Amino acid sequence: MNHTVQAPGDGYKWTALFISTLGMLMATIDASIVLIALPDIFRGVGINPLQPGNSFYLLWMILGFLVVTSVLVVSLGRLGDIYGRVRIYNLGFAIYTAFSLLLTVTPMSGHAAGIWLIGMRVGQGVGAAMLMANSSAILTDAFPPNQRGLALGINQAAAFSGTFIGLVVGGLLAPVDWRLIFFVSVPIGLFATIWGYLKLRELGQRRAATIDWPGNITFGLGLILVMAGITYGIEPYHSHPMGWENPLVLAAIGAGLAFMAAFCVVETRVAQPMFRLQLFRIRAFTSGVFASFLAALSRGGLMFMLVIWLQGIWLPLHGYGFEQTPLWAGIAMIPLTVGMLISGPTAGILSDRYGARPFATGGMVAAAGCFALLELLPVDFPYPAFAVLLFFTGLSMAAFGSPNRTGVMNSLPAEHRGAGSGMNTTFQNSAQVFSIGIFFTLLIVGLSATLSRNLSQGLTAHGVPAAVAQRAAHLPPVNTLFAAFLGYNPIQHLVGGSTFASLPAHQRAVLAGHSFFPTLISGPFLSGLHAALDFAIVASLLAAAASWSRGGRYVYTETTGPRAVVPAPVVTAPVARAPVVTAPAPAVPGPSPAGGAGGANGSTAGTEADRLSRRRSPRPPAATRERGRR
């Protein structure tokens, strides 16, 4: 049965924008706030995350949240299509708030506390996935096509900037009390949950459907196994600096890919699939989703690289103690957030008028240029140059993000907005996990080439016994990176507390000083960083190409009723600012947009989106494609 609710007054859309943006901001802040607070969290519960047996806690506190949201957003977006997007969104706020409170009151210590924290973060991720899966769909339902870019631009800017705001907030709150980083979400979540239940309205179409359990199970198992394999691939294995030769890692990735293949087969054979593969016949949707995946692949691991660069090298060289670097790294990255906050809404407004393609494509080309300029910076860079590059990187990323999201949501039939939004978010979040694995792998390869020799020679020259220096030099590079990332003094960690304490005072001062470790690691780090940035440049240019392939502006609309009139495509003459002329005639189904056939842009109005809707409704919908100025 098709449930359609008429929109309330015009002011409702701004209420929906505020509540949905608050949810996205809170979810993305909490995704990164833990990164900066990890040293205080582990000290608070009595766990040393750098001990070999404790790497499980470290990895899953960092990546568990992303893995859970990646796996669940499609299913939860589909549930929003069936039971109501507002209902699932409000439930997500309530769940998120409840698990934030449980994290605040962690009642134990040691390994039991570590398991508790990871379990509660998984629960928090379930709530966040409900928010992420339905936020864009709620806004698309509430705003008319000519204002969706503005709304989704503000929403996307909040999501992007929340990642970096979390670094600063975590750095400020965690030294006071690590529990505050979780408690800060509780009053906000309570307010938003109550207000959402009172103010948000179901405006989208709902259709009764059954849950696709085979699809959910095969998809969930496949994605979890692949991402777990990638996560453990950056962990050392026996004498190898990474785990890509670990049979368990290879088996997990292989089994995950097999489950994903089975999922694709299942989705073509069930009556009501969770993953709407038919939506990929809509060219604007397919191009936008793959552009989103490639863009996330280019930037997902970049934050870690920049933070390690700041915490492990630049900040110590400029007089900051290692324990101070997490907070100041977050502050140093503020220009990136400012660029995103300016560009997101602005690009969204412009895409409402001119379409997504020029801004999304231009944004990724500009991002590739910013990554190339970052390669030209010396390892001890002048901060003003770094800040300017961060600012323009933020401008470029948000110039892509909000128009691309708008283009994706505009291309979807109303009944599939939740599922389509979830599919896009899954591609984006899973790409971030893949990106972290790729960036760390490239960085560790660069470090492995010369770090061991540099470390052995440097430690021996400052009085460390040769046997201890050799042992430290052969520790996996990832341990050194994590030590710098967590705000520990890497040399004290590598040498060991008792050996370090036995050294003469002047040698301890040199080894633990602000310049020894940064000077030691600068060359190997720069080699790995350049390889990672080269990868980011290639991924950004591929994202630009995928974005350009979307064609002209596409807005799917539908009207239902016993006497619905199906209009013909809106045609824009290819001359400067020519008026739009509409001819009232029945739309004729044409070739799939993905196939590139059709009108001036290689597309037609009566496309797969129409046939997809007609399969589920006895009343024929009308589709209108609006081509704007390129």
Give CA separation, 486 vs 171, 342, 426, 475, in Å.
Answer: 11, 30, 28, 17
pLDDT in tens, 56-102: 787 788 778 878 887 888 888 878 888 888 999 999 999 999 999 99
The answer to whether the beta carbons of residues 442 and 298 sit under 8 Å apart is no
Predicted confidence (pLDDT) at residue 191 exceeds the cutoff of 70 = yes
What pLDDT is recorded for position 205? Answer: 67
Q: What are phi and psi of 598, to 5 degrees?
A: 130, -145
- Count of alpha carbons within 13 Å of 567, Cβ hemisphere only? 14
Once rounded to an integer, what is the mean pLDDT over residues 568-592?
Answer: 39
pLDDT in tens, 265-300: 888 888 777 777 788 888 999 999 999 999 999 988
- 420 class by beta-carbon count within 10 Å (0-12 exposed, 13-18 middle, 19+ buried): buried
> From CA 91, how far away is CA 134, in angstroms rounded?
11
Q: What are phi and psi of 70, to 5 degrees?
A: -65, -40
What pLDDT is recorded for position 8? Answer: 52
> From CA 589, how far away is CA 277, in angstroms rounded?
19
Rounding to the nearest 10 degrees, give the CA dihedral for residues 525, 526, 527, 529: 90
Strand boundaries in 273-343, DSSP class E? none
Predicted confidence (pLDDT) at residue 613 exceeds the cutoff of 80 = no
Predicted confidence (pLDDT) at residue 211 exceeds the cutoff of 80 = no
Counting residues of the chain whose pLDDT is more than 90, the rounded percentage is: 22
What's the whole-number average pLDDT of the chain? 79
What pLDDT is recorded for position 557? Answer: 66
What pLDDT is recorded for position 521? Answer: 82
Q: Residue 157 — very low, low, confident or very high, per pLDDT cuts 50/70/90? A: confident
Predicted confidence (pLDDT) at residue 391 exceeds the cutoff of 90 = yes
Q: Are strands 2-3 and 580-581 parallel, antiparallel or unpaired?
A: unpaired
How many residues can be counted in the chain? 630
What pLDDT is recorded for position 314? Answer: 93
The DSSP secondary structure of 74-116, one letter per residue, reads HHHHHHHHHH-HHHHHHHHHHHHHHHHHHHHT----HHHHHHH
The answer to whether the beta carbons of residues 335 and 391 sit under 8 Å apart is yes
Q: Residue 447 — very low, low, confident or very high, per pLDDT cuts 50/70/90? A: confident
Angle between helices 12-45 and 110-142 (to 10 degrees): 170
Q: Residue 538 — very low, low, confident or very high, per pLDDT cuts 50/70/90? A: very high
What pLDDT is recorded for position 620? Answer: 37
pLDDT in tens, 8-56: 556 888 999 999 888 888 888 887 788 778 888 888 888 887 776 677 7
What pLDDT is recorded for position 6? Answer: 47
Based on its alpha-carbon atoms, the radius of gyration of the chain, rounded to whole angstroms, reads 25
Q: Residue 262 — very low, low, confident or very high, per pLDDT cuts 50/70/90? A: very high
pLDDT in tens, 375-387: 999 999 999 999 9
Give CA separation, 269 vs 72, 277, 616, in Å.
Answer: 21, 11, 16
Task: Mention every residue, 6+ apart, whose C-beta is less than 8 A from residue 387.
Answer: 332, 335
Instruction: Pick from 50-59, 246-255, 435-444, 558-567 the range whose average pLDDT is largest.
Output: 246-255
Q: Read off the tokens for 101.
A: 């409170």
> From CA 230, how far away is CA 244, in angstroms rounded?
8
What pLDDT is recorded for position 414? Answer: 79
Q: What is the DSSP letter of 4?
A: -
